[in-house]
Amino acid sequence: MIPTPYLLYLGHSSDAIGIKTSRGLAIFRPEICVGEFRHDDCPLTLGLPRLTIAEGAAAGARTLVLGIANSGGTMGADLVEDALAALDAGMNVAAGLHQRLRDEPRLAARAAELGLQLFDVRDPPADLKVGNGYARAGHRLLTVGTDCSVGKMYATLALTRGLQARGVTADFRATGQTGILIAGGGVPVDAVVADFISGAIEALAPARNDDGWDLIEGQGSLFHPSFAGVSTGLLHGAQPEAIVLCHDPARTAMRGIPGRALPDLAECLDLNLHMARLTSPHVRAVGVCLNTSTFDAAEARALCARTEDRLGLPCTDPIAFGVDPILDELLCLESSARSTIASH
């Protein structure tokens, strides 16, 4: 486990999407974030106190979280200098970059010298097994998407908290670096060796018999030409009883693939259900989550209503409007699934 609380790093970032890991922590785990560190040229803020490295350490921060994504996932010299300063101030350092902290010799040496830790949350766990797809006990929900970065993590967290608020045991199962830092654990599925994708997810959400739910963060999209393999293995490993489709109605092209249109929502749902049946024959869709942050409230409500009518499923923006309609559908589904099992 990564020692908390955190000081969140923004550095020199000027790209709002690039700081999504830091922002996710500020939104979903504010109680473990003492502040944000940013240089004078950084126009962004998470609304947390702006602290220097020394002030962060004095405020009790035990880990500097490099919650930014540089182009290519690499570390610039400035970022290494800031991380060294954090070590010198007695903090551990965590990051979800492709390039590992421990592979930067100066960081590795300084951390060892000072008895501090470097956390590369994109390291997949050792000793993964291949998946087997055998039916396993427990309730599992997976978020799937029309594209990458359409709000699957936010939706999964909102659904988890919604269930908990209703007194249902529910656990968020993280599959990306931001989710892993929020949850304190998980599997960075995009960094797993290809043979082990579904097996990694079977290990992340093993059989459970407490009537609780595992809510598994989806990744990519079956329709994304870069990442559909990850999404397929994730779907099979998750063996979900329920899926929720996530979509960004403002997106005009698949992320990173200019010119490629997003799939139709109904087609996307159908293919996800079809593929999911390989390991979860009774899988059902229980809702749609839209990221309507670029629309005004009336437009957003109208979009949700139209989507709901068209797909015959509850549709909401989990951040703007909450997830109650989806939870109602999910918990009904749970009861009906049980009566089906009982009647066999």
Q: Extract the tokens encoding 320.
A: 């703007």
CA distance 195 to 130: 6
CB of 274 to a copy of itself, least distance (A): 8
- Please state the closest distance from residue 278 (CB atom) to a copy of itself, in A: 6
| Token pair for 57 | 């350490």
Distance CA(17)–CA(44), nearest Å, equals 11
Burial per residue of 106-143, b for 16 or more beta-carbon CB atoms within 10 angstroms, e otherwise: ebeebbeeeebbbbbbbeeeeebeebeeeeeebbbbbb
How far lies 187's CA from each of 124, 266, 292, in Å? 6, 29, 28
Structure tokens at 214: 């595992």
Please, which residues bridge with residue 95 across strands? 66, 120
Residue (62 or 173) nearer to a copy of itself, CB: 173
**172: nearest Cα among 148, 188, 153:** 153
Task: Name the minimum Å distance from CB 206 to a copy of itself.
Answer: 15
Q: How far is the CB of 95 from a copy of itself (least distance, A)?
A: 17
- Closer of 81 and 123 to a copy of itself (Cβ): 123
- Which residues sit at the interface with a copy of itself, rule CB under 8 A? 130-134, 189-195, 197-199, 222-223, 225-234, 236, 256-257, 260, 271, 274-275, 278-279
| Nearest distance in Å: CB 196, a copy of itself | 8
Smallest separation (angstroms) from a copy of itself to the CB of 53: 32
Q: Which C-beta is closer to a copy of itself: that of 27 or that of 271?
A: 271
The DSSP letter of residue 50 is: B
Which lies closer to a copy of itself via its Cβ, residue 228 or residue 320? 228
CB-nearer residue toward a copy of itself: 76 or 225: 225
Minimum gap (Å) between residue 99 Cβ and a copy of itself: 13
The CA–CA distances, whole Å, from 123 to 18, 47, 66, 80, 88 equal 20, 30, 15, 19, 24
Query: In the complex, what is the shortest distance from the CB of residue 42 to a copy of itself, in angstroms, rounded to a whole number?
Result: 28
Of 20 and 236, nearer to a copy of itself (C-beta) is 236
Nearer to a copy of itself, 162 or 220 (CB): 220
Pick between residue 58 and residue 266 the one whose CB is nearest to a copy of itself. 266
Which helix H or strand E contains 192, and what residues bound it? Answer: none
Q: Closer to a copy of itself at the Cβ: 132 or 293?
A: 132
Distance of alpha carbon 218 from alpha carbon 152, whole angstroms: 6
C-beta pairs of 180-183 under 8 Å, 24+ apart in sequence: 180/96, 180/121, 181/2, 181/6, 181/21, 181/24, 181/25, 181/65, 181/67, 181/94, 181/96, 181/121, 182/24, 182/25, 182/28, 182/29, 182/153, 182/157
Question: Which residue from 274, 265, 240 is spatially nearest to 159, judged by alpha carbons?
Answer: 240
Q: Minimum Å distance from CB 152 to a copy of itself?
A: 16
In the structure encoding, which two tokens stand for residue 35, read together? 């502040």
